[in-house]
Amino acid sequence: HLPLTGSPMSYTTLLTDLSEGVLTLTLNRPKANALTDQMAAELQDALQAAERDSAVRCVAITGAGGVFCAGQDVGALPGRAADFSFREHLHATYHPLALRMRELEKPVIAGINGAAAGAGLGLALACDLRVAADTAKFVTAFAGIGLAPDTGVSYLLPRLIGLARALELAFLNQPLPAAEALRLGLVNRVVPAADLPGELRALARQLAAAPTRALGLTKRALYRAQDLTYADALDLEAELQELAGRTHDHAEGVAAFLQKRPPVFTGN
């Protein structure tokens, strides 16, 4: 891949912008930003580059036009061809992408500007925070084409909104409006559609100015703790605090507190 610093990456299905510590990835496959193997590969490549580039302190993902992501481009799949394996396809594309998003120790936020469906819903759920336009809607979509959930939807959706509501959405395949998504805890904020780009940038810049290492360790702690016992979570906290306590940003935070001034975090 191409380095991020000083030179935006060139992709076919993504628009990229690196500014003020924020890498914005815009899904760009008109009209529905439907996922393909190429888009999945390009997203993985961009996230890998973001992980290695110290200039990137937050990643924001959004969609071009009026749709966030309509899910898998079903026309791009061989479908029921005898030699096609759904399992192998997921292991090669969306599942490693979802894992990379969760394991990237920098904030990954979504600006959901329209429909997020199927694997596109999984992409949104894999982000750490979600800001939605008031026109956005969320659809599991899988049952509508005779499939089961993938791209992490079966794991993340019930954890965010509860098992009963997740089953209802998956079974009935009904769109969930942004306002209801906020009430259920599926998204963190809902804003007027015209304000979404500005709100997303503001949140991303706020996160990019925060102590990056501490946020990354916080992300690791909270996600791993979902599957740990209380005692094991306490042990993990001690391990991660040892790492956080040795960062430059911790020293700066303490100094700023004692000197009664705003801290200036560098991400180190």
Q: Which residues contact 193 (CB under 8 A, 6 or more apart)?
A: 113, 133, 134, 135
Helix (H, G, I), strand (E, B) or coil at 100: helix
Give the span between the Cα atoms of 220 and 214, in whole angstroms: 10
The residue from 17, 89, 150, 250 that is catalytic is 150
Give the span between the Cα atoms of 194 and 184, in whole angstroms: 23
Do the Cβ atoms of 176 and 139 come closer than 8 Å? yes
Burial of 182 (0-12, 13-18, 19+ CB in 10 A): middle
Q: Which residues contact 99 (CB under 8 A, 6 or more apart)?
A: none
How many residues comprise the chain? 268
C-alpha distances (whole Å) from 128 to each of 18, 109, 185, 193 are 19, 6, 13, 21
- Return the beta strands (E) in the chain as ranges: 14-19, 22-27, 58-63, 67-69, 108-112, 115-117, 129-133, 137-139, 176-177, 189-191
Cis peptide before 137 (omega within 30 of 0): no
The residue from 95, 128, 249, 250 that is catalytic is 95
The 8-class DSSP code of residue 106 comes to: S
Q: Give the residue carrying structure tokens 């380095």.
A: 3
Give the span between the Cα atoms of 228 and 232, in whole angstroms: 6
Tell me whether residue 95 is one of the annotated catalytic residues: yes
Tell me whether residue 17 is one of the annotated catalytic residues: no
Catalytic residues: 95, 150
